[in-house]
A and B are shown apart, each in its own frame.
Chain A
Amino acid sequence: MLSLIYLIGSVTFIVGLKMLSNPATARKGNAIAAGGMALAILGTIFLYRHNGQGLHNYGWIITGLVVGGVIGLISARRVKMTAMPEMVSLFNGMGGACAALISVVEFEHMAGTLADIPDVHGQLGIIFAGMIIGTVSFAGSVIAWGKLNGRIRDISFQGQHILNLSVLAVIVLLTLFVAVTLPSAIVTLFAAVLVLSLIYGVFFVLPIGGADMPVVISLLNSFTGVAAACGGFLYNNPVMLTGGILVGSAGTILTILMCKAMNRSLKNVLIGAFGGAKAGGVTREQGAYKEIGLSDTAVVMAYAHKVMIVPGYGLAVAQAQHACHELETLLEARGVEVRYAIHPVAGRMPGHMNVLLAEADVSYDKLLEMEQANGQFNTTDVVLILGANDVVNPAAKSDPSSPIYGMPILEVENARSVIVNKRSMKPGYAGIENDLFFQPKTSMLFGDAKQVLQQLVAEIVNSL
């Protein structure tokens, strides 16, 4: 009976994941996977038998489920759309910690009676693997979470990668040593590997730039999948295995796809062009930029033929999507053609801008993908950049020493004029200067994106 339930659970995971990769069926797919998960959990609680014995400690289990469920539900409901990626990262860390804890308990369980266990080497190997991967995923996710909400800065130093690799090598060698020779100091060594894994997780993520966090989270996500699969081996449990491995392999592919969307290799992200490029990223003299006022902007936009809006993280922070839609309708009513140019990694996660603009009822066919948009900039009169920076930085094309060199960008400099709305002249997330702001056809319009847009709308309605 229970194996049947596990079979259903595994199938729902596969079907759910498949449906999640298509916009039309994604939401249903998520619900199906959730249903399968609920079934598998309930089945385990009530039907699990080991050597003819059921589970006990029901009070603890139910309390844990309720407490965790309430915390998960509340935090998932309360979190703002802009903070979504860090939330996912945190949840991922919880899963990793859960996998690691399981390994710790199982280890404690068998540590005393090593000699009596058949296949002890294999079991130990799996327990160590689950503990290491889970711990790395947990530590890394917490760091990624801290980076995304700005609590932790990028820290990198000379030789960091060599240090990381050495730590990793020590972890692997110690594990092999323990699993093969079963030394008497096994508990101490287990603890040592645990601590080293924590350290490795922290050092692994610390040097990677904040803008690359979605890629890192996706990678850690697949780590946790593998850690869960270790549990599947431990308990001969097929649903943990399918679920875990499925996420492990799908997560890896997804990570690579995300890298491709930024035109960078995974190695490049991990070895850290952002963190390691201190030499190339020397702060240059700031050139002179020119400011533009609200009324001038209103005039320029209202009398243009075609306006292209480039949204970025600034739009998300200011929650300006509705004001943006308002401006768009107003301009369209005056006969101006308005389009949105969406860079694949604009904002803090892929698809961030599409989600926000969809929320504000912006029509889908007005959102242009990067290739489309780049083909249209030379017929565009005004580009309005709302809190985007790195995705329009021409250094990505022209300056090989720039940390973002090679990333495809929106080629806004091909338009006739560019208006940049930012809160200040501070550099963007990658922490580098943007030459675009100092070009003669660019003007700066400082202020909070939402306020500026609302004032623009008022200006156009009242005075034009």
Chain B
Amino acid sequence: MEAVFSFLEQHLELTYIVILSIFLGVEVISRVPSVLHTPLMSGANAIHGVVIIGAIIVMGQASDENYLALILGFLAVILGTINVVGGFVVTDRMLEMFKSKKTK
């Protein structure tokens, strides 16, 4: 239990961010028309692709002889990028369909 408290104390700022983000996420999403559920899910899917930043850091800190870290990190960068790029492009394609309705 003590370890948990000391961990929270050391990461107090991050803990603030977590708690505020939770409420923010709930607040931002409530009252979405059901038509937008899928694009929204897809957009959120692209945003959690931010994990790519972790992959880049892992990759960039791996030493040259550590092949395991290099290979896994490389894979992580590829997968993360697919998530980000694919996610945003797919969302845009879905929303494109809605736009044609608006202009009409």
Contact = CB atoms under 8 A, between A and B. Distances in A.
Interface of A: 9, 13-14, 16-18, 20-24, 26-27, 29-31, 33-34, 37, 40-41, 44-45, 48, 50, 54-58, 60-61, 63-65, 67-69, 71-73, 75-77, 79, 81, 84-85, 87-88, 91-92, 94-95, 97-99, 101-102, 104-106, 108-109, 119, 121-122, 125, 180, 214, 217-218, 221-222, 224-225, 227-229, 231-254, 257-258, 261, 344, 349-352, 354-356, 358-359, 361, 363-364
Given A64-B77, A91-B87, A228 B17 contact: no
Given A41-B56, A122-B3, A244 B51 contact: yes
Contact of B24 (A14, A44, A72): A14
A64 B78 contact: yes
A254 B51 contact: no
Task: Specify the main secondary structure of chain A where it touches its partner.
Answer: helix
Interface in B64-92: 64, 68-70, 72-92
Q: Indicate the member of A18, A37, A356 with the most B CB atoms within 10 Å.
A: A37
A228 B76 CA distance: 12
Contacts of A233: 11, 14
A60 B40 CA distance: 32
A34 B88 contact: yes
A105 B41 contact: no
A414 to B, nearest CB: 23
Given A61-B60, A71-B78, A350 B47 contact: no
7 contacts: A30-B92, A68-B77, A68-B78, A68-B79, A245-B25, A248-B25, A352-B38
Contact of B33 (A23, A72, A95): A23
Given A17-B28, A88-B90, A248-B25, A228 B51 contact: yes
B70 A229 contact: no
Task: Specify the main secondary structure of chain B where it touches its partner.
Answer: helix
Contact of B29 (A102, A234, A235, A257): A257
Given A30-B95, A214-B38, A351-B37, A121 B88 contact: no
B29 A72 contact: no
B30 A71 contact: no
A198 to B, nearest CB: 16
A105 B62 contact: yes
Counting from the closest, the 7 A-B pairs by CB-CB distance are: A55-B60, A68-B81, A249-B25, A64-B77, A72-B85, A72-B86, A122-B7
Contacts of B32: 21, 254, 257
A228 B28 CA distance: 19
Contacts of B46: 30, 33-34, 37, 91
B98 A253 contact: no
Contact of B17 (A13, A224, A242): A242
Contact of A98 (B37, B43, B51): B51
A294 to B, nearest CB: 30
A244 B29 CA distance: 15
Contacts of A22: 36
A76 B90 contact: yes
Contact of A91 (B3, B60, B86, B96): B86
Given A77-B89, A109-B69, A261 B34 contact: yes
A225 B41 CA distance: 12
Q: Indicate the member of B4, B38, B50 with the most A CB atoms within 10 Å.
A: B50
A237 B14 CA distance: 8
B35 A27 contact: no
Nearest to A79: B90
A351 B56 contact: no
Contacts of B97: 81, 355-356, 358-359
A101 B55 contact: yes
B38 A85 contact: yes
A104 B66 CA distance: 13
A14 B28 contact: yes
Contacts of A248: 22, 25, 48
A48 B99 CA distance: 38
Contacts of A72: 81-87, 89
A27 B50 contact: no
Contacts of A75: 82, 86
A19 B99 CA distance: 14
A30 B43 contact: yes
B62 A57 contact: yes
Given A55-B61, A253-B30, A354 B84 contact: no
Contact of A361 (B6, B26, B100): B100
A69 B21 contact: no
B26 to A, nearest CB: 5
A228 B23 CA distance: 18
Contacts of B33: 23
A17 B47 contact: yes
A404 to B, nearest CB: 18
A74 to B, nearest CB: 9
Contacts of B62: 57, 105
A350 B38 contact: yes
B98 A254 contact: no
A352 B59 CA distance: 39
A237 B56 CA distance: 12
